[in-house]
Amino acid sequence: TSYGFRQVSEGEKQALVNDVFHKVAKRYDIMNDVMSVGLHRAWKDAMISALNPSRSEDYSTLDVAGGTGDIAFRIIEASDRKAHATVLDINGSMLAVGAERAKKKGLADNLTFVEANAEELPFEASSFDAYTIAFGIRNVPRIDVALSEAYRVLKRGGRLLVLEFSEVEMPLLDKVYDAWSFNAIPQFGKMITGDAEPYQYLVESIRKFPNQSDFAAMIKTAGFSRVTYTNYTGGIAALHSGWKI
C-alpha cells in the first residue's frame, strides 16, 4: 500500500514530518500508549538500562528528536536526578509539551530544550557523553548526515543509542503486526486526532527504514565502533548501540 509519500524530495519529506508532529503534539503521549499497546514504555526503559547513565553531575547527554521528553526524563531519573540532558527536536510544538511535562515532574533544572535539526546540530564537537534518539531517526531525511553529526558531538568514549521500529523477525507476529499497523493504527489515529493521514505516514516510514543489519552498517560507516543491536518484541523495535573510541 502506498499513501502517496513515496516520491518526495528530502525537503518535502521534512515538511511532511513537521506537519505530522505539529498536528499530533498535544495528543502524542496518549497516542503512543494506544498505538504501541503500552510497549513503548518497556522499550524505552530497556534503552535506559542499556545506557546505564552515570550518577554524576558532569554527565551530559543529548536526546535528539526528543519530542515530549520521555527519554530525557528517564535518563535523569536513572541518574538520581544528577545528569543533565539536552532535548533537541525540530518541532517547537513537541518541545513545548515536553517543557510543560518537565516542569510538572520537577525536572526542569536538569534539562535544556533546543529547537534544531538532527542533520545540523548546534553544538561543538566532543560535547556529550551520550547521544540517544528514540523513534526519531526514521523521520530524518538524511540519516547518514544525522549519524555523522552524532559522531561529531560525542566525546571520545561516548555512546550512541538508537531505538527505532525495525524488521519483525518472528513468523506469526509479523502478520499480526501488519494487520495492526496498516489498519488499526490509522483508524485509532483518526478516532483520537480526527486525521488518519499522519498515522499512515508513520506506518509507511517504518516500512521504509533499513532493517537491523543494514542500519548497523550505516552506523559503522559513520565511524562508530563495537556496533551491536538488540531486538525488542520480536524485532518490532530494535536498539542499536555504537561507541566513539
**Phi, psi for residue 29 in degrees, rounded to 5:** -65, -45
* Residue 48 or 216 with smaller CB distance to ligand SAM: 48
Give the nearest residue (CB) to ligand SAM: 67
**Is 89 annotated as belonging to a binding site?**
yes
Q: How far is the CB of 7 from ligand SAM (least distance, A)?
A: 19
CB of 17 to ligand SAM, least distance (A): 5
Amino acid in the structure at residue 141? P
The CA distance from 169 to 140, in Å, is 24
Transcribe 165-185 into DSSP letters: E----SHHHHHHHHHIIIIIH
Using the minimum distance from each CB to ligand SAM, give the nearer residue, 101 or 155. Answer: 101
Q: Minimum Å distance from CB 142 to ligand SAM?
A: 9
- From residue 148, how far is each of 107, 218, 222, 241 by CA, in Å? 30, 10, 5, 15
Distance of closest approach, residue 171 Cβ to ligand SAM, in angstroms = 27
Strand partners, 239: 163, 230
Beta bridge partners of 112: 86
Comparing CB distances to ligand SAM, the nearer of 93 and 156 is 93
Answer yes or no: are the C-beta atoms of 72 and 95 closer than 8 Å.
no
- Which of 22/56 has CB closer to ligand SAM? 22
In the complex, the smallest distance separating the C-beta of residue 154 from ligand SAM, rounded to whole angstroms, is: 17
Distance CA(244)–CA(153), nearest Å, equals 10
**Residue 120, Cβ density class (10 Å: 0-12 exposed, 13-18 middle, ≥19 buried):** exposed
For residues 142 and 155, which CB has a smaller minimum distance to ligand SAM in the complex? 142
> What burial class does residue 106 get, using C-beta atoms within 10 Å of its C-beta: 0-12 exposed, 13-18 middle, 19+ buried?
exposed
Q: Is 117 annotated as a binding residue?
A: yes
**Cβ atoms < 10 Å from Cβ of 223:** 16
- Which stretches of the chain bind ligand SAM, using CB under 6 A? 14, 17, 21, 64-67, 70-71, 89-91, 94, 117-119, 134-136, 139-140
Query: Could you tell me the smallest distance in angstroms from the CB atom of residue 245 to ligand SAM?
Result: 26
The nearer residue to ligand SAM, 131 or 225, going by C-beta atoms, is 131
From the annotation, which residues make up the binding site for S-adenosyl-L-methionine? 68, 89, 117-118
From the annotation, which residues make up the binding site? 68, 89, 117-118
